[in-house]
Amino acid sequence: MAQASINGIALRGIVSALPTGVEDVTHLAARFGAEQAERIAAATGIRRRHIAAPGQCMSDLALPAARELLDGLGWASDSVDLLICVTQTPDHPLPATACLLQNRLGLGRQCAAFDVGLGCSGYVYGLWLAASLLSSMGRGRALLVAGDTTSRTLDPQDRSVAPLFGDAGTVTALEWDADAGPLTVDVGTDGAGGPYLIQPGGGARQPDGPLLFMDGTQVFAFTLREVPKAIASTLAASGRTIADIDHVVLHQANEMMLRRLGAKIGAREDQLVLALADRGNTSSATIPLAMTDALAPSLTDGERNLLLCGFGVGWSWGTTVWRTGPARVCRTILVNASGEIIPAG
């Protein structure tokens, strides 16, 4: 596994955006039967998911989230030096969605913008990339976009995936700050797991091939085998123990899996964040979405020790231990099909 420790990277804010469309257990009951729908919800802990409207891309969620974040921070659009977009559902095969967002946001031409095609581990990889680039410059600001519209990639009649995945777009603001605490990252890959969580169709090898496939048993086995070791390795590299961590935010895929992982790493119940019941698995967005949903008061109050860990499709995994804060902006918004922000509730 690759490890790095980077100083001087401050979290300034996060805004998560959800589409207004919703599917819940009653919708699943109409497709799979009430008994089966309840059984799935009980097993996964997922009862409700936000689903993008027809024609609504991840970038259409990220755009208002980024504007809300820039406005909340008081950052001028030409002050952003870096835009990284982590997604597996880009607007187009080319150009990069990051380039389209750079233009739609009115960011300066000096802004470096590129896509990263990762899913469940992608937020941590994105943090690592953004932190490394800001550190290499010794200055600057970055926007890390992470999210997917996974509902577009699956068969709604496939009960192994349809009840699990929701859509979201998130934007995280990072800034070089010499006084910011350290960010320790540990990442790993085992491409032998590729066939067990895959969308075979839509790429150059099979342009019109099958939709999303997942072998849940293999995913569960991989997670319990690799993730606790990766977390232990990252904690050791950071010089901390699990007792030093304020919040443990794992990829929000399945409640039973998260509780098993929490027990294996020795996390207390008050440390472990569970925020998937109304969101489902939003791929690369799950970690920042869980932070805006469940941790906004804490993250805006002061410095916090965070343990973030994403894992899944690839197989790919990434963990970070990060002392950071306080964030100045941390919220979840709803975005309709026209791109307007809708008041929650």
Active site residues: 120, 251, 281
**78 backbone φψ class: left, alpha, beta (φ>0; ψ -120 to 50):** alpha
C-alpha 300/C-alpha 314 separation (Å) is 33
- CA-closest candidate to residue 88, choices 112, 58, 132: 58
What is the number of other CB atoms lying within 10 angstroms of the CB of residue 137?
Answer: 12
Helices and strands, number each (H, E), in the chain: 9, 16
Residues 135, 6 contacting (CB under 8 angstroms): yes
- CA-closest candidate to residue 12, choices 177, 147, 124, 169: 177
What is the number of other CB atoms lying within 10 angstroms of the CB of residue 37?
Answer: 21
Residues 42, 25 contacting (CB under 8 angstroms): no
- CA-closest candidate to residue 100, choices 110, 86, 87, 114: 114
Compute the C-alpha angle 159/196/232, nearest 5°: 110
Compute the C-alpha angle 97/99/103, nearest 5°: 115
